[in-house]
Structure 1
Amino acid sequence: MVAKSQQNSKPQNRKQISGNKSSSHGSASKKPKFVNDKPSKSHGLGTVGKPFKSKVEKSEAKKEPITKREHRLQAKELAEARKKKRKRHYDLEHELAHLWEKMRVRNITKEDRSKWVSKALENMKGKIPEIAGSHVSSRVLQTCVKHCTDAEREAVFEELKPHFLTLACNTYAVHLVKKMLDNASKKQLAGFISSLHGHVASLLRHMVGSLVVEHAYHLANAAQKQTLLLELYSVELQLFKDLVSMKESRLVDVISKLDIKKASVSRHMTSVIQPILEKGIVDHSIIHRVLMEYFTIADKTSAADVIQHLSSSLLVRMIHTKDGSRIGVLCIKHGSAKERKKIIKGMKGHVNKIAHEQYAVMVLVSIISVVDDTKLIRKIIINELEKDLKELILDKNGRRVVLQLLRPNCSRYFSPDDLASLNLSIPSLCNKSESGVDRAEEKADRDMGETEGEEVDGGEVSAEGSEAVDGGKKDPLIRRHELLVDSGLAEKLVDVCVNNAGEILRSNFGREVMYEVAMGGADGVLQSKLGEKLSGLYEAIASLAAEPKSEDAAAGDEHVLENFHSSRTIRKLILDCPAFALTLWTTALEGKSKLWAQGHSCKIVQAFLESTDSKVREISRVELQSLIDEGLLKIPGTKQSADKS
């Protein structure tokens, strides 16, 4: 009975236990059972009208399943919402993008494209300056400016005119400005150039703005180019630009006419040029023109500082223009041993590209004509040229490097302008003598094995620039021999000419290299070590001439004795090289001269009568006299006059 009463006295459930505890502990009854569990408004224990949820059910409710597609859509919607808040004209840009996809299709008719362009311009009207800096709207505007009517283009130009300077420095709007300049009328271009007044120097110091100035300079006429340049010369010329006429195109003439202080102009130009060079903005032709004018008035220290700054990798980026190439020649001519070495090393990997460019090749010509460090030139320049020697020979510009080594400064291969660029000099540095600093630097470099035999310049420069500047103390013939023969370039050159004799002879440019190689170069630079190789070249040309005559040969496969270029080259070799003439006669023409007595080949046969060498005339006299008697061959006028005398 006692046990039973004790069993009945126990509480029947947990609520009674909790009730007893609450009654015994007072305020502790308000706390939840698990202290770490935070009560929830929606899922709290004992909430009226809501079912009880366990921990597992809560976690499953939190982790609602979502697919990858839904996640992408949610991210896209979020990004769209952010863009709408950030971009004022987001909806307009979105609409323009759709119109752009329609108007830029290639197979669209002009009428349809004009319709979409007009619609896009109508939607952008009044908002063009605001949206021109967007990477999307800028592209739409470029297409519209390209294909719109003149009236629509004029409206866009007028709307953007007050904002040109701001747009010129924008990464995306700069392309729109350049496109507008490409399609601008003369009046619009003049208006744009006038809007640059007073801001040319600041724009040239800007990486993006300099592109616009260069583009305007490229499209401008001579007077407008001079207007842009005058702003960079001095403050007086910037304020009073109408004082200068077109006749004074050079800075020296402008200073002389207006009686401006040369020192003030030099200081102003230094302040303009220095930040441009420090930022490395040297790719533009307007900057190259300014530097060339600066060299004409700069003092010795300032000019040397610019050369030192350009002797790094900057010069390689400049020599693709006419003025940039001349700056490169001046840096080579007046630079110190270390500066020349930096310039040559900066060309590593770019020599072949430089050799094939019209203006840049003159820097290579200057290097092989001036620099005495032949080991460095062989290591960097000659080695790269040898890799594509055949293409170099056949190229209009590339052949000039080889021709300069074979026959230096020849007016047949270099235009007067090319020779003038090689003879340029900086007035303040033209009488530069060896300083103690230069000699000390050179001696230290030799001791460390860095210069590999280079010597400091000691040549005198003509004040008028009419004579070529001496490269250094090394004899020019010795320098040529080291670069051409000792380097192995000459041997490879002869091998290329032998293996491709027909193609090179028929080439308008390669035939000149063939002629100089066969002649052994100026001063017989190839004769001493390559006499046998040259005999093999004579035999290769003679074997081509000995091939049978073909009646239906194509223009590229014409016989070498009938081809326009090769026939003239062979005739010239007969007159100037008796050894070749004898080989050609015995191999190809003896007993066959009657066959070649007409057409282009007739001049080759006549050349044996015009030769100044008695052996050449004697070996062909009997056979050619019979052709003269038959009337198939005419005696040259020079030969007739010689016989009469």
Structure 2
Amino acid sequence: MASGGDDLQSPKKRKHDAVGKPKSLAKGGDDGKKRKRPSDANVARGGGGGEVKKQPVTAKEKRLAAKEMAESRKKKRKQNYSLEKELTVLWEKMRCHSVSKGERSKLVSEALHKMDGKYLEITGSHVTARVLQTCVKWCSQSERDAIFEALQPDLLILSRKKYAVFLVKKLIKLATKKQFEWFISTLHGCVAKLLRHTIGASVVDCAYQRATQPQKRRVLLELYSTELQLFTDLTAQKTHSLLETISNLGLQKSSVLQYMTTVIHPILEKGIVEYPIVHTALLEYFTIADKTSASDVIRQLIPLLTQGSSIIDGDEPSAPELQNKMKAKKKRLPEPLLVQIMNTREGLKIGISCLKHGSVKDRKKIIKSLKGHIMKLALSDYGCILLISILSIVDDTKLVTKVVIQELAKHLKQLIFDKNGRRPLLQLLHPLCSSYLPPADLACLNYRVPSLISKDEAPESTTEVITENRVDVATNKEQDGSEGMHSANDSKKDPLQRRKELLMKSELAEVTFSAL
């Protein structure tokens, strides 16, 4: 039976006809506007038959509506949101430089009164943690003691939090001797774990820098052996070096080396090498490490020192994620890590050991990473010693001239009249002279990793400094020979030829004499 009505058409026929019609007619509307029933609008706004909420029309009304919605969501999500807003107002007042001491004290006391009993909850928030940190800075000693006592059981846990870590470091710096001694005792058994944590390592370093020599030894000894980590009495010894500790306590050198390897390698894999405590541990590790172990550490250190610090806020990333985050953060780093660690003698020794025992490619990588930071190194106490080592070791004089010599030539007058800046220039004119290099700096220049030194070199290194200090290089050929012994294992080029290339071919000597 034939059908002529639309309601009897097939689904494909109806869809085809709908495509050809206007959008409004296809949906069954006359005016092309989407219609809603009043009941649907009320239900969408949560109302049954009540008054319909007015929709924002202007841009200002939309902004206010969005702000109200954000505020309501924050109140549901944050437990102490209203308290956070009150503390923020007080914090903006107390941190102003123009506020008087008495007024600031009142503001701090008021803020602490509001936070009383909620210190642990507050440390988890970015805003309130900063407020509490400011209060710790400006509050009275009794108020600070109350905060320390309230957070005392959870200080190690807070040391791993990315917002609370700054509060913990502030408490450590301002703690009394009794409180600080308690914190050092709390660290026992947790030093290695915290050093492997990208956030917790800064807390250990903060405590290490403030600690006395006996306290520093107690912290360091935990990184040497399992026995020293388990038994507190063994860490009370008065030995200074790792070799003395091994001999006094009768420890097995192989077991100590194995344990330190398990401690140091995770630290290097995460790139946490900017702290003095890590430098000291590495130098002690070199005293007992075999050739293979020492070479592996040097090979891991060089990329880290030339790229920069890898401290990353937030949770700890895995090894593949760490490399990607380091690449992303590399653009924001102001200087390589090698420049940053030149504020301690231990950091200087780490840099010199990488320079001496690295390959030719490694040395080029190190020098290229220093581009633009030569003047900062030249004017610092230990950075100038690193530059002296570069001028005395590296055979690629073209690269050294391009990166180091040209930068020094631009600021000759400033360098000549600076106690540290003149040292690299004097090294080229009169190498290793005791008049500008004290014995401690000469010892740093002659530092080598014991396992990476050949047996024939050991007696030579003891006599080279004496010979260098007595005779002028420019007038005595024997002195040139002694410098050759100094650089025999570090470079292949003749030392006199290297100095001529750095002074004459680079025109540094001519510029120096014209500046004088």
In structure 1, the gaps of 5 or more residues are 1-20, 22-32, 45-60, 433-458, 498-645
- 1:383 alignment partner in structure 2: 406
1:348 aligns with 2:365: no
TM-score by length of 2: 0.77
Percent identity of paired positions between Structure 1 and Structure 2? 54
Q: Report 1:424-439 matches (<5 A).
A: 424-431=447-454
For 2:449 and 2:153, how far apart are their aligned partners in 1? Answer: 42
1:333 aligns with 2:356: yes
In structure 2, the gaps of 5 or more residues are 6-24, 41-51, 307-337, 466-485
TM-score by length of 1: 0.62
1:80 aligns with 2:71: yes
State which of 426, 441, 445 in structure 2 corresponds to 1:403: 426
For 2:283 and 2:353, how far apart are their aligned partners in 1? Answer: 10
For 2:71 and 2:462, how far apart are their aligned partners in 1? Answer: 67
Do the aligned partners of 2:158 and 2:164 also contact (CA within 8 Å) in 1? Answer: yes
The C-alpha deviation readout for 1:56-84, integer Å capped at 9, x for no partner, is xxxxx999662222211111111111111
- 1:494 alignment partner in structure 2: 513
For 2:277 and 2:514, how far apart are their aligned partners in 1? Answer: 44
Do the aligned partners of 1:311 and 1:340 also contact (CA within 8 Å) in 2? Answer: no
1:222 aligns with 2:241: no
Do the aligned partners of 2:124 and 2:163 also contact (CA within 8 Å) in 1? Answer: yes
For 1:330 and 1:409, how far apart are their aligned partners in 2? Answer: 18
Do the aligned partners of 1:217 and 1:286 also contact (CA within 8 Å) in 2? Answer: yes
- 2:276 alignment partner in structure 1: 285
- Deviation of 1:341 (Å): 2.3
1:417 aligns with 2:440: yes
Distance 1:463 1:479, change over 3 A: closer
State which of 263, 267, 273 in structure 2 corresponds to 1:276: 267
Distance 1:64 1:94, change over 3 A: closer
The C-alpha deviation readout for 1:276-303, integer Å capped at 9, x for no partner, is 2222221111111111111111110111
1:36 aligns with 2:59: no
Do the aligned partners of 2:217 and 2:235 also contact (CA within 8 Å) in 1? Answer: no
- 1:478 alignment partner in structure 2: 497
Q: Report 1:243-254 matches (<5 A).
A: 243-245=234-236, 247-254=238-245
- Matched pairs, number: 424
- Deviation of 1:245 (Å): 4.3
Distance 1:262 1:42, change over 3 A: same
Q: Report 1:41-120 matches (<5 A).
A: 41-42=37-38, 66-120=57-111
For 2:198 and 2:189, how far apart are their aligned partners in 1? Answer: 18
The C-alpha deviation readout for 1:81-113, integer Å capped at 9, x for no partner, is 111111111111111112222322333333332
- 1:170 alignment partner in structure 2: 161
Q: Which amino acid aligns with 1:487?
A: S
SS of residue in 1 equivalent to 2:382: coil
- Deviation of 1:463 (Å): 8.0
Q: Which amino acid aligns with 1:69?
A: K
- 2:381 alignment partner in structure 1: 358
Distance 1:42 1:139, change over 3 A: closer
Q: Which amino acid aligns with 1:289?
A: T
- Deviation of 1:473 (Å): 3.7
- Deviation of 1:304 (Å): 0.9
For 1:42 and 1:108, how far apart are their aligned partners in 2? Answer: 57
SS of residue in 1 equivalent to 2:395: coil
- Deviation of 1:43 (Å): 8.8
The C-alpha deviation readout for 1:233-277, integer Å capped at 9, x for no partner, is 111111124224453111111011111111111122112111222
RMSD over equivalenced CA pairs, Å = 2.6
The C-alpha deviation readout for 1:334-381, integer Å capped at 9, x for no partner, is 223232222222222222222121112211111211222322322322
Do the aligned partners of 2:287 and 2:449 also contact (CA within 8 Å) in 1? Answer: yes
Do the aligned partners of 1:319 and 1:327 also contact (CA within 8 Å) in 2? Answer: no
State which of 147, 150, 168 in structure 1 corresponds to 2:138: 147
- 2:10 alignment partner in structure 1: none
For 2:280 and 2:454, how far apart are their aligned partners in 1? Answer: 24
The C-alpha deviation readout for 1:150-182, integer Å capped at 9, x for no partner, is 111111001111111221122221111111122
- Deviation of 1:418 (Å): 0.4
For 1:278 and 1:136, how far apart are their aligned partners in 2? Answer: 32
For 2:261 and 2:347, how far apart are their aligned partners in 1? Answer: 18
Q: Which amino acid aligns with 1:115?
A: K
For 1:78 and 1:39, how far apart are their aligned partners in 2? Answer: 26
Q: Which amino acid aligns with 1:483?
A: L
For 2:39 and 2:74, how far apart are their aligned partners in 1? Answer: 37
Do the aligned partners of 1:168 and 1:209 also contact (CA within 8 Å) in 2? Answer: yes
Distance 1:389 1:43, change over 3 A: same
Distance 1:380 1:464, change over 3 A: closer
1:462 aligns with 2:459: yes
For 1:428 and 1:220, how far apart are their aligned partners in 2? Answer: 31
SS of residue in 2 equivalent to 1:312: helix
Q: Which has the higher contact order (CA 8 A, sep 6+)?
A: 2
- 1:238 alignment partner in structure 2: 229
- 2:200 alignment partner in structure 1: 209
Do the aligned partners of 1:174 and 1:208 also contact (CA within 8 Å) in 2? Answer: yes
- Deviation of 1:330 (Å): 1.8
Distance 1:41 1:74, change over 3 A: closer
Q: Which amino acid aligns with 1:422?
A: L
Do the aligned partners of 1:117 and 1:148 also contact (CA within 8 Å) in 2? Answer: yes
Do the aligned partners of 1:280 and 1:314 also contact (CA within 8 Å) in 2? Answer: no
For 2:506 and 2:199, how far apart are their aligned partners in 1? Answer: 45
For 1:77 and 1:41, how far apart are their aligned partners in 2? Answer: 27
SS of residue in 2 equivalent to 1:280: coil
For 1:122 and 1:262, how far apart are their aligned partners in 2? Answer: 55
Structure number with bigger Rg = 1
Q: Which amino acid aligns with 1:331?
A: C
SS of residue in 2 equivalent to 1:210: helix
Q: Report 1:115-134 matches (<5 A).
A: 115-134=106-125
